[in-house]
Homo-oligomer: A and B are copies of this chain.
């Protein structure tokens, strides 16, 4: 693992996708069509697209959970941490043990797990809830545990598949702030999949718009990093308007 990570010394990309195509069945439709993508270390990239355009498929291939039909994918660190829409915590373990299991599977010695897990939970303001079971936590708290767990994996690349889609708006806004903080301070490379144009415009340094059937990168926007921005800010709004228009154009293409 450490051998595969040349400390980002060269100008290597964090993620490199070349000519990636994907079909699920031999005779099935083309889900992803020759996707090329280069993501630099420390970038925050939002992947935006309508339902079924292949966002999750692309993310899963980068995560190594699916195999591409053709093309290559390389992740600088060899492996990536992943967060899903569903927090997917192990329901029989407390919040702390959910984090510890990630530490254990990474090879952290038993003696250090507990304190490290508590530190990670502290990052997401959940030190007090460390001994609670997932069902005793609210949806937002569960996603924060999942975030702590993926931080415990200690990978430079974090893939997130609509992680906040199931949360209410208030909690979502808060987690945006939380995630941005983590990103700014740990300088992880983040690929963030979402339906939500404003969320993408709020969070991303780069926003990639995917088209549907087959999935392609249809457009790309870059946002100047001017420090933290509110979702209601005019920059976010104007970018959102632009992206929305493009997205709607993509969706209309699919009208029967």
- Which residue of chain B has its CB nearest to the CB of A166? B166
Q: A225 at interface (Cβ–Cβ under 8 A)?
A: no
- Which residue of chain B has its CB nearest to the CB of A195? B168
Q: Which of chain A's residues 160-208 have a Cβ closer than 8 Å to chain B? A: 165-166, 168-170, 173, 194-199
Contact digits for A214-249, partner B, Cβ 8 Å, 1 yes 0 no: 000000000000000011111001101100100100
Q: A51 at interface (Cβ–Cβ under 8 A)?
A: yes
Chain B residues within 8 Å of A196, by CB? 168-170
Chain B residues within 8 Å of A50, by CB? 170
Chain B residues within 8 Å of A70, by CB? none
- Which single member of B51, B128, B244 contacts A232 (CB below 8 Å)? B244
Q: A112 at interface (Cβ–Cβ under 8 A)?
A: no
Given contacts A237-B233, A241-B230, contact A138 B51 (CB under 8 A): yes
B251–A170 contact, CB under 8 A? Answer: yes
B232–A240 contact, CB under 8 A? Answer: yes
- Which single member of B138, B168, B232 contacts A237 (CB below 8 Å)? B232
